[in-house]
Amino acid sequence: MQNFWVAVGLRAVQSAVVVWIVLSAVFVVTRMVGDPVTVLAPMSATQADIHRLKGELGLNDPLYEQYARYMRDVAELRLGTSFRTGQPAVNEVKVRLPATLELSVSALALAVLLGVPAGVLAAMKRGTVLDGAARLFALLGQAVPNFWLGIMLVLLFSVKLGWLPTGGTGGLSHLILPAFTLGAVSSAAITRLTRSGMLDVLGADFVRTARAKGLPERRVILRHALRHALMPVVTILGIQVGLVFAGTIVVETVFAWPGMGRLLIQSIQSADYPVVQVGVLLTATAIVLANMLVDLSYRLIDPRVQGAL
Amino acid sequence: MRVANLQSESALVCADAAPLTEAELAERGRSARMRRPYALAVYTAVLVLFVGAGLFAPLIAPYDPAAQKLVNRLHPPVWQAGGAWAHPLGTDSLGRDELSRLMYGARISLIVVAVSVPASVVLGTLLGLLAGYRSRTVGVLLMRLVDVQLALPPILFAILLAAVLGPSLRNVLIVIVGWGWVGYARIVRGETLGLRERDFVLAARAVGAGDVWIVRRHLLPNLVNTVTVLATLHISTVILIEAALSFLGVGVPVTTPSWGTMVSGGNNFITVAWWLVTLPGLAIVTVSLVANLFGDWLRDALDPRLRHLR
């Protein structure tokens, strides 16, 4: 057990390094690429304003000073004011975070709830139409762009059939399409991996033993085989979280879902740069954190996993 | 002791190269003889169509993709009521011909693929070789970069770049190459670490062969198969990323006819003109899918374990 806590510590340090690199990358891109003043000043600024801002923002100082100040600002969460609303940029993002979380978590849950049974069924009924359908689904999931899938679903279920609303929040019917769109790609990957994991496991000795003992087939599958088949799925869960977070940017735009992703795009379009910066930083940090958690939980599930270089 | 970073271990291998498990390999072996030979012909035909449309768009497109004719706006495709052969795939909200725009969109996708995939391959392979064969420091740095790459999805980085520099094709290329090379480097490094200990490499070193010679004659030929398969699968990803970035408005400028911008432009009219969104999307799906399937086929073809079944 002690090993585990050492692992937590090491992984935390690793994640911190990654976040630091991301922060530095954002700094580099904003200060050193292009003209930082046009980016950091509101569009309505006059020449005199810009000149003043240059001094205030310390853009005439040597880079390492700017960097130190930037790091300190980030640590104290002093990340600027939105040009559009005048509110602190952090608040703008914080307000929208729950909506994005609601969408992401629903999407991931949906992906697992759809993908795992589909994969299991496909493995058990290998060679049949069901298997073929599942494999087709898995294949298409990799090739279909999520924004197009979302629009097609809206076309079908909202415009042509009128069953579901086209966007916005407000209850389960508003959540279904966005969550499904967001989770579809992950669902396809999970189906594929569950299926192949099951196929791998079903030929194993311990499964034959369980069957020889006379256990009902369902018990064999669920209690013995499934746990092993799910290993590769847990491994990719971390990547899926990253993909889902990245996907919220697109899906929220398509469905007008009031979350962080949509804010990011709106802020780009309205040149509200401080909000863009905060949004990017927060999303990246969230992804790093999620990866870390999944990695650590994987060690808990499979004690055989050792630290490797 | 370094904790296994399982996410990065499986990261791009899953997103890009989707490793086959034992079960899937066995399945493929069994069905190899039953595999329909026309599958490859279909893939090649689609890819040739894509490349042809992209390459020759300025020569064979029936209309200028930017030519607006408001009188002709929102004509449906030829197989629907109100359609005509003058505009076989219909027109958009400004009267521009869909077919021509689709061809020019193929051109954009083609440019992105033709530039970013080779660039990623070259950069990634070089650095991966360096990390695997010579420098442990580079190797460690590389693994850190893999972590960063996981944390910063291309969309995020593209948004950042677009905020600072404005949307452009150049930004798309920078983002895709900057994100993509790491995947190759990671896998090349892994394979090089293994190849380094093989007998033929040790023998070459024993007779005094220099590093460049070993890389050229022994390492690269053994890496070609893996890298080729990766590249083919990468094509599929690249097309999807470019489309997503353009759709969001952080890729190519909205005025450029790319499949992504066509979808975002048509989104406002889906109630009256379904073809504006459906057709470009189908193009994206088709090319991406075929590239994927082609990569799968290539992997099967190059896999020595299955060779005896030919």
Q: What is the pLDDT of residue B17?
A: 40
In the Cβ-directed half-sphere of B11, how many Cα atoms lie within 13 Å?
Answer: 30
**Longest Cα–Cα distance in chain A:** 85
Residue A304 and residue B193: Cα distance in Å, rounded?
A: 24
End-to-end distance of chain A based on CA atoms, in angstroms? 21
| pLDDT > 70 in chain A, percent | 88
For residue A199, the distance in angstroms to the closest alpha carbon of chain B comes to 6
Contact status of A199 with chain B (Cβ, < 8 Å): yes
Per-residue pLDDT tens over the stretch A25-75: 888 877 766 566 666 666 666 777 777 776 666 666 777 777 888 888 888
| Interchain pair A250, B150: CB under 8 A | no
Residue A173 scores a pLDDT above 50: yes
- The whole-number average pLDDT for the span A144-173 is 85
ipTM for the predicted complex comes to 0.83
Q: Which residues of B, range 138-177, sit inside 8 Å of A by Cβ?
A: 144, 147-148, 150-157, 159-165
Residue A197 scores a pLDDT above 80: yes
- The whole-number average pLDDT for the span A218-246 is 79
| Interchain pair A22, B148: CB under 8 A | yes
Band the pLDDT of B289: cuts 50, 70, 90: very high
| Interchain pair B3, A249: CB under 8 A | no
Q: What is the pLDDT of residue B247?
A: 92
Residue A36 and residue A27: Cα distance in Å, rounded?
A: 10
For residues B132 and B139, the answer to whether their CB atoms sit within 8 Å is: yes
Residue B5 and residue A17: Cα distance in Å, rounded?
A: 14
| Interchain pair B152, A192: CB under 8 A | no
| Interchain pair A291, B159: CB under 8 A | no
Q: Which of A159, A151, A111 is nearest to B284 (CA)?
A: A151
Residue A300 scores a pLDDT above 80: no
List CB contacts (< 8 A) between A145 and chain B: 240, 243-244, 247, 281, 284-285, 288
List CB contacts (< 8 A) between A235 and chain B: 6-7, 9-10
Contact status of B14 with chain A (Cβ, < 8 Å): yes
| Interchain pair A295, B11: CB under 8 A | no
Q: What is the pLDDT of residue A187?
A: 92
Of residues A122 and B113, more confidently modeled: B113
Q: Which residues of A, range 238-267, sit inside 8 Å of B by Cβ?
A: 238-239, 242-243, 245-246, 249-250, 253-254, 264-265, 267
- Token pair, residue B278, equals 């459906």
Band the pLDDT of B31: cuts 50, 70, 90: low
Of A72-76, A283-287, B22-26, give the lowest mean pLDDT range. B22-26
- The whole-number average pLDDT for the span B148-167 is 81
For residues A256 and A242, the answer to whether their CB atoms sit within 8 Å is: no
- Token pair, residue A166, equals 């086209």
For residues B105 and B283, the answer to whether their CB atoms sit within 8 Å is: yes
Mean pLDDT, chain B, rounded, equals: 81
| Interchain pair A148, B240: CB under 8 A | no
CB pairs under 8 A between A and B: 202
For residues A151 and A220, the answer to whether their CB atoms sit within 8 Å is: no
| pLDDT > 70 in chain B, percent | 85
Residue B159 scores a pLDDT above 60: yes
Residue B16 scores a pLDDT above 50: no
Q: Choosing among A148, A152, A302, which should be mutated to test the B contact, i.e. which has the most B CBs within 10 A?
A: A148
Q: Which of B151, B5, B154 is nearest to A289 (CA)?
A: B151
For residues A138 and A275, the answer to whether their CB atoms sit within 8 Å is: no
Q: What is the pLDDT of residue A308?
A: 38
For residue B250, the distance in angstroms to the closest alpha carbon of chain A comes to 8
The residue count for chain A: 309
Q: Choosing among B1, B2, B5, B6, which should be mutated to test the A contact, i.e. which has the most A CBs within 10 A?
A: B6
Band the pLDDT of B5: cuts 50, 70, 90: very low
The chain B residue lying nearest A298, using CA atoms, is: B6
Contact status of A156 with chain B (Cβ, < 8 Å): no
Contact status of B278 with chain A (Cβ, < 8 Å): yes
Q: Which residues of B, range 76-135, sit inside 8 Å of A by Cβ?
A: none
Residue B20 scores a pLDDT above 70: no
In the Cβ-directed half-sphere of A86, how many Cα atoms lie within 13 Å?
Answer: 0
List CB contacts (< 8 A) between B248 and chain A: 147, 249-250, 253, 265
Q: Note if the pTM is more than 0.90.
A: no
Residue B250 and residue B161: Cα distance in Å, rounded?
A: 8
| pLDDT > 90 in chain A, percent | 13
